[in-house]
Structure 1
Amino acid sequence: MASRKVLLPVDGSQHSDRALDWYNQHLRRPDDHVIFLMVAEPPPMLRSAGVPMEEATRAYGDSMSQAVKAGRELADRMQRHCTAIKLEVAGVRFLERLATNAGEAIVQVADEESIDLIIVGNRGLGTVRRTFLGSVSDYVLHHARRPVAVVPPAK
């Protein structure tokens, strides 16, 4: 069998951990290449009246530094999780994207990287709550041009 490229979006939540665990238990193959994707929302620019440009720029830079630090911490945490569950695959990569819509970023990366399978966890929201709150897994499921596995919460 040819090797696969598997995309696992992660955010540090129990839902993304559950998706990784499910992949490891049910679908993992030794020749898989796993890409962990962390999507961070870019910090807002302070453009309100009375905020000097220098101060707004400094605040934006501080927010970006915090986002980069959080991304590194999440990558370290995921590496420890992979070691703990004895994830044995051909390769692991970590990607970070800044985007205002995580679902769009996941779909875009899946296309750019020619992903064979996207695996996402979900929160188990009902239809009404999902409609009002939005759902990254729902967006990916309906917009990706790649196979998607949605791992629901345990009952």
Structure 2
Amino acid sequence: MFSKKKKEDDPAVLHPSQNDDSRVVVIPIDESQHAETAFDWYMKNVRKGTDKLKLVHCYEPPPPPASSYPAFRTTNRYLKNQRKPNDKVKLVHCAELEQPSGAYYPDYAVPPEAWQDQIEKSKDRVHKLMEKYEKKMKDSKVSGSVYSEMGRAGECVCKVADKSNANLIIMGSRGLGMVRRTVMGSCSEYVLHHSKVPVTIIPKEDPNKYI
């Protein structure tokens, strides 16, 4: 949806097969200082001239408008878990009276106009984010690509690392408190437990310390 990749014939892109010492390093990025700290830590401490960086922004689109979200979720669940090849599906729309302006919308969804506005703003933010990191890579003379991938952050990072045959993942830590981490979960914690390659977490408090 927001992908912006370097062309394969770009001379700045170094393929791992061109050098036995080359590494593929995945660094998740977003608009936070934690992501920037992780990138800067990589550049200062572990960068190699033959590395190929994969900077990925993982995003989840906002829920569909209030009127369509429950049906969207149910249809998705059916297609993913219960569909059989010989099924005949009949989708029925039962119209309801339109809610007046200012009506209450459930927490899980937003009005159609606001949803579309969120989509457009998200596109703009992602493009600016990718341009920012493309410039950082160019200024630092490091090879690689910047792109976006839809999905939950932790799962998305592991998926990208698998697809790109990564050698290392470096990511920032949001430094969530115990309660928030228990309730919300932690992206870095998920990656630590599910990654097939070494993971370096750059702490929020002191970027010179790492685990």
Shorter chain as denominator, the TM-score bin is: 0.7 to 0.9
5+ unaligned residues in a row in structure 1: which ranges? none
Please give the TM-score of this superposition, normalised by the length of structure 2: 0.62
Q: Which residue of 1 aligns with 2:134?
A: 79
Q: Does 1:104 align with 2:159?
A: no
Establish whether residue 64 from structure 1 lines up as the match of residue 116 from structure 2.
no
Is contact 1:30-1:88 (8 Å) kept? no
Aligned counterparts, 1:2-151, within 5 A: 2-48=21-67, 50=98, 56=112, 60-82=115-137, 86-89=139-142, 91-99=143-151, 101-151=152-202
CA-to-partner distance for each residue in 1:62-105, whole Å, 9 max, x for gaps? Answer: 4333222211100122234445xx5233x220111122x11111
Structure 1 residues 108 and 23, CA, compared in 2 at 3 Å: closer, same or farther? Answer: same
Determine if contact 1:40/1:67 at 8 Å carries over to the other structure.
no
Residues paired across the two proteins, number: 147
After the TM superposition, which parts of structure 1 deviate over 6 Å for at least 4 consecutive aligned residues? none
What percentage of residue pairs aligned between the two structures are identical? 35
1:8 partner amino acid: I
Write the distance in 2 (CA, Å) between the matches of 1:124 and 1:59.
31
Q: Aligned partner of 2:45: which letter?
A: H
Change (3 A) 1:75 1:16: same
Greater share of strand: 1
Query: TM-score, length-normalised on structure 1?
Result: 0.82
Query: Residues 60 and 126 of structure 1: is their aligned pair in 2 closer, same or farther, counting only changes over 3 Å?
Result: closer
Higher helix share goes to which structure?
1
Which string of whole-angstrom CA distances, capped at 9 and with x for unpartnered residues, describes residues 27-79 of structure 1? Answer: 1001100011011211210133637xxx84x6655433322221110012223
CA RMSD of aligned residues (A): 2.2
Structure 2, unmatched stretches of 5+, are 1-19, 68-95, 100-110, 207-211
